[in-house]
């Protein structure tokens, strides 16, 4: 799932929503200052978050909230490291 990540306040937390989907204005105003941070393909994210729980939140509310402490889970795994982490998906053809 491709998502947009928005930064709440001074990196106080993060809002995750499907890419390109508008956020519910009333709820976002309650969070305070909100700005666009980056886009992320959840399949390429570092394995540090429960993406199923985030997807459940998105299905229910249209967005998910991630705490400041969990920001590393919102970062993509550098592509050059993937063959070392998942060699079964990166076998070279003989």
Q: In this predicted model, what pLDDT tens digit does every residue of 48-66 receive, in sequence order?
A: 777 788 889 999 999 999 8
pLDDT of residue 69: 84
- Encode pLDDT of 21-40 as tens digits: 988 888 888 888 889 988 88
Q: Is 23 exposed, middle or buried (0-12, 13-18, 19+ CB in 10 A)?
A: middle
What CATH topology corresponds to 2-89? Answer: NE1680-like fold (3.10.510)
Give the integer Cα–Cα distance in Å for 38 and 28. 17
pLDDT band at 17 (very low <50, low <70, confident <90, very high): very high
pLDDT band at 90 (very low <50, low <70, confident <90, very high): very low
Q: pTM of whole model > 0.85?
A: no
């Amino acid at each position: 799932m491709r998502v947009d990540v928005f930064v709440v306040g001074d990196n106080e937390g993060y809002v995750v929503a499907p890419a390109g989907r508008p956020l519910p204005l009333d709820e976002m105003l309650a969070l305070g200052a909100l700005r666009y941070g980056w886009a992320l393909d959840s399949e390429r994210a570092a394995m540090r978050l429960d993406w199923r729980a985030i997807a459940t939140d998105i299905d229910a509310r249209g967005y998910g909230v991630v705490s400041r402490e969990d920001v590393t889970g919102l970062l993509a795994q550098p592509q050059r490291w993937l063959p070392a982490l998942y060699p079964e998906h990166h076998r070279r053809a003989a």
